[in-house]
Structure 1
Amino acid sequence: MLSQDAEHELLFDLIGKMLEYDPAKRITLKEALKHPFFYPLKKHT
């Protein structure tokens, strides 16, 4: 399990990529769902 700090860093990394102003640089939905922030969820499915 990740520490709270690591989880927060991953969350803010994902949010930053989702809020990128330039659409060409913005993360896609498919890429977002593969982001490390969601790795712990894969263990439960």
Structure 2
Amino acid sequence: MSEYQDSRQQRENRRRTIVRVVCIVVAVAMLGSLIVPAIYAGL
């Protein structure tokens, strides 16, 4: 029983980590789409 719970916890942790990575990637992409035109405008 505890083993099943442990595997479920691991899967939840992995999913949470994936969600965090996806959020970071999206945030970086949004920042990049804002910064790149600003750099081109500066040049």
For the aligned pair, the TM-score class normalised by the smaller chain equals 0.3 to 0.5
> For the pair shown, which has the larger CA radius of gyration, 1 or 2?
2
Higher RCO (CA < 8 A, seq sep 6+): 1
So what's the TM-score if we normalise by structure 2? 0.45
